[in-house]
Structure 1
Amino acid sequence: MESFVGLGARWVSRVRQDPVLLSPLLLTGLIAVLEWLTPPEMPIARLLPAVPALAAALWPVVPTLVLGLVCAAGLAAYAVISSDHPSLFSAGAIGAVTLAAAYASHLRLQREDALAEVRTVADATQKVLLRPIPRSIGPLEIASLYVTATPHARVGGDFFTLADTQYGIRLIIGDVRGKGLPALAVAAAVLGSFREAAHEATDLTQLAERLETTLVRDGGGIAPGDPSELFATALLVEIPQHGSQATIFSCGHPPPLQRRKGNVDILGTDDPAPPLNLGGLLATRTPGRPRRFAFQPGDQLLLYTDGVTETRDTAGSFFPLATWAQEQLTTPPRQALKNLHDALLTHSGNNLNDDIAAIAILKTN
């Protein structure tokens, strides 16, 4: 008895969330009413085979079978009582369609289970690659945004993570140029190397060299193919627990924005390093130099990937990030990133066609 009560409660809950589940029953009632109201020469009841076909797309196997058999039995009883023998053939058609619908429902449920397993694996992959960034750590309040361009995808080619080290709080945000599983493999390699090297490298220059070495040395095993076709831009940030100075190091990545005393500045670097996995291909490798900047209580930093600045509207114009930041980068990090996401959706007409990652950092003390 309790099991029936539980099933009933779950059914009511599902119907409240998705009223479309009632459509097979509503269709059955509509056909029955029309059959009752229309003249006998209009065989509306012969539309009943559509009922189990619709149920197969929405219901499990047993309810689909029950509804179809009820329709078949009802039509057969009507045919016998009214001596409408052609309706017996319609009842037989309903029975045949019901069996096919039950099998279709079974296949649908199998595919839904397989999709659920794939999503579970994708969720686990995302948790491994993109570990949640704490909302606050030391003197910082932090929020992150991650949006994939592929519908229903959990992970893409953008990445970020954070490490609390003896040298300060170190972050990385980056974007792999490639697509698909090779891009995920490169992102995983960069993040894995960062999580280890961030605690060992004495400065960001050395940390960037460790990341570059990982990809150049193991690139063929990580993601087979032409290295020039699979590389990653990255931005490294180091914020000490104490003091008013922070450091950035760019590996071909878009410069961050800083809001300080009501003004928004672009923290470009005069001497950036090449993107990761490309340094070894250059005849003359530029090691790059870090940039130090003032980062005091009340200052806010916005890190982002090029999916933000390359979002276009219907006229082809890029998203004006600097203008937006001047007006909107005034709220706490979580709200700021929510506003940024809303602004990107509005600018693109709900058509974001690239992965997007962003981190907002507010120094509180």
Structure 2
Amino acid sequence: MADAERQVGYTVLAWLPAVVMAAVVAVDLTAGPGVGFLPLVSLGPAFAGLIGTWRRTAATGAAALLLCAGLGAYDGLFETRRGYTAMGSVAGVTGAGVAAAVMRVGREEQLAGVRTIAEVAQRVLLRPLPQRVGPLELAVSYDSAVAEARIGGDLYEVVESPFGLRVLIGDVQGKGLAAVEAAAVVLGAFREAAYDEAELTALDARLERSASRALDGEKFVTAVLAEIRLEDKEIVLLNRGHPAPVLVRPEGAVFADPPVYCLPLGLGLHKGPQVQPHRVPFRPGDQLLLYTDGVTEARDGGGAFYPLGERAELLRGSDAGACVGALRADVIRHAAGPLHDDAAMLLVRYRSQLAEGG
């Protein structure tokens, strides 16, 4: 919808110079020279400079000068200074419009380069996840709170390790480039350690060491580590001060609250509760939704938080990607506008044998 609206706006602006100049000509011919509308022909190149290239703006200015000269001669304005004043106004606005178009196109090219770099950085940091891993179906959604940004302080990753499918979702304190840098450190450590460490607590210790070195105790990263053990039909969860995941089962949705909330990654020098993994059943037909607080802290106009537990029913469709997309759209509708914090969601669906056969 947003792309369609932008296209409509672009089309309106593209035709606006011609429409304005035609309207000025019509008024001048109808009302006569006494109205004094002729200098308004300069609005054509002025509007052209808002959206067109400098060549298009110059061509529009040339057309405006021809119209101005023709109408000025028709109205007899060159017998006084009025005709020359109108021509000077059109020429001056055309020059300003051409200069503005040159600067605008340069900025657009620079912005396009920045967007390309951001897309590459996103592919490096937040790599596309596989849609299927055995009987598991994966889907992800990510929205950055920074306008035009593709990445932010939220992070996620999935690694197929010898010890089971390991999943990470996290949220770096703060925003901007510093948050992106911290996310890169944690993701790099997870991708390496997930293959090496047999125990989830050892994997967590590796992440803590990497985060502590990189963040210098000034920032922290809330995170949830999950290890999916299909042979045991269970998930081992380890929560580092992060919102509890949601387990969506055929009989209903529940939050997988940890026995104790531990300190976030990067705060290992502070005393706190000992890290305690906990196990939850995970059977065919179950789903695990991991998310960041940008989802649950999205507020509506009355200040109410997004009721994720109630809206988890949106995840019961047949396609995991479509379900996550519907939940994302529902969060944005609830907030009635752009989100004020990064928001990531990662859904792991344990497909039932019936779904596998279908």
Same fold flag (TM > 0.5): yes
Partners in 1 of 2:194 and 2:134 — Cα distance?
17
1:27 corresponding residue in structure 2: 20
Partners in 2 of 1:210 and 1:194 — Cα distance?
8
1:187-198 superposed matches below 5 A: 187-198=183-194
Partners in 2 of 1:352 and 1:82 — Cα distance?
57
Partners in 2 of 1:259 and 1:84 — Cα distance?
78
1:241-320 superposed matches below 5 A: 241-280=230-269, 282=270, 284-320=271-307
Worse-superposed segment, 52-61 or 256-265: 256-265
1:326-365 superposed matches below 5 A: 327-331=313-317, 332-365=319-352
1:8 corresponding residue in structure 2: none
TM-superposed deviation, 1:88 = 2.4
Does 2:163 correspond to 1:167?
yes
Partners in 1 of 2:73 and 2:329 — Cα distance?
62
1:52-131 superposed matches below 5 A: 52-85=45-78, 86-131=82-127
Does 2:43 correspond to 1:50?
yes
Partners in 2 of 1:98 and 1:261 — Cα distance?
67
TM-score, scaled relative to structure 2: 0.91
Partners in 2 of 1:318 and 1:78 — Cα distance?
62
- With over 3 angstroms needed to count, the CA separation of the structure-2 counterparts of 1:20 and 1:323, relative to structure 1, is same
| Residues 196-245 of structure 1, C-alpha deviations (whole Å, 9 max, x = no match) | 0110111211111000001213334xxxxxx24x1000001111354412
Tell me the number of residue pairs that the alignment of Structure 1 and Structure 2 aligns.
342
| Residues 33-76 of structure 1, C-alpha deviations (whole Å, 9 max, x = no match) | 11111122112212111111111011101111111112112322
Worse-superposed segment, 142-151 or 185-194: 142-151
1:205 corresponding residue in structure 2: 201
Worse-superposed segment, 67-76 or 98-107: 67-76
TM-superposed deviation, 1:360 = 1.1
Partners in 1 of 2:61 and 2:236 — Cα distance?
69
Partners in 2 of 1:74 and 1:149 — Cα distance?
48
Does 2:154 correspond to 1:158?
yes
Q: What is the aligned-residue RMSD (CA, Å)?
A: 1.8
1:149 corresponding residue in structure 2: 145
TM-superposed deviation, 1:351 = 4.2
Q: 1:239 aligns with which of 228, 232, 238?
A: 228
| Residues 96-115 of structure 1, C-alpha deviations (whole Å, 9 max, x = no match) | 22112111110110011111
Instruction: Report if the CA contact (8 A) 1:168-1:238 is conserved.
Output: yes
Instruction: Report if the CA contact (8 A) 2:182-2:214 is conserved.
Output: no
- With over 3 angstroms needed to count, the CA separation of the structure-2 counterparts of 1:177 and 1:15, relative to structure 1, is closer
TM-superposed deviation, 1:271 = 3.1
Worse-superposed segment, 78-87 or 20-29: 78-87
Q: Which amino acid aligns with 1:103?
A: A
TM-score, scaled relative to structure 1: 0.89
Partners in 1 of 2:332 and 2:323 — Cα distance?
14
Instruction: Report if the CA contact (8 A) 2:45-2:61 is conserved.
Output: yes
| Unpaired runs of at least 5, structure 2 | 1-6, 353-358
Q: 1:138 aligns with which of 134, 140, 143?
A: 134
- With over 3 angstroms needed to count, the CA separation of the structure-2 counterparts of 1:159 and 1:247, relative to structure 1, is same
What is the DSSP-based 3-state SS (H/G/I as helix, E as strand, rest coil) of the residue aligned with 1:233? strand
Q: Which amino acid aligns with 1:190?
A: V
- With over 3 angstroms needed to count, the CA separation of the structure-2 counterparts of 1:277 and 1:75, relative to structure 1, is same
What is the DSSP-based 3-state SS (H/G/I as helix, E as strand, rest coil) of the residue aligned with 1:48? helix
Worse-superposed segment, 132-141 or 69-78: 69-78
Does 2:34 correspond to 1:41?
yes
Instruction: Report if the CA contact (8 A) 2:240-2:265 is conserved.
Output: yes
Partners in 1 of 2:132 and 2:239 — Cα distance?
24
Partners in 2 of 1:312 and 1:16 — Cα distance?
30
Partners in 1 of 2:73 and 2:299 — Cα distance?
66
1:4 corresponding residue in structure 2: none
Partners in 2 of 1:274 and 1:74 — Cα distance?
72
Q: Which amino acid aligns with 1:343?
A: D
What is the DSSP-based 3-state SS (H/G/I as helix, E as strand, rest coil) of the residue aligned with 1:329? helix
What is the DSSP-based 3-state SS (H/G/I as helix, E as strand, rest coil) of the residue aligned with 2:77? coil
Partners in 2 of 1:357 and 1:82 — Cα distance?
65
Instruction: Report if the CA contact (8 A) 1:138-1:241 is conserved.
Output: no
Partners in 2 of 1:92 and 1:213 — Cα distance?
69
Instruction: Report if the CA contact (8 A) 1:142-1:360 is conserved.
Output: yes
Partners in 1 of 2:301 and 2:88 — Cα distance?
54
Give structure 1 regions of 4+ aligned residues with deviation exceeding 6 angstroms.
14-17
What is the DSSP-based 3-state SS (H/G/I as helix, E as strand, rest coil) of the residue aligned with 1:317? coil
Q: How many percent identity over aligned positions?
A: 35
Partners in 2 of 1:131 and 1:269 — Cα distance?
28
Q: Which amino acid aligns with 2:18?
A: L
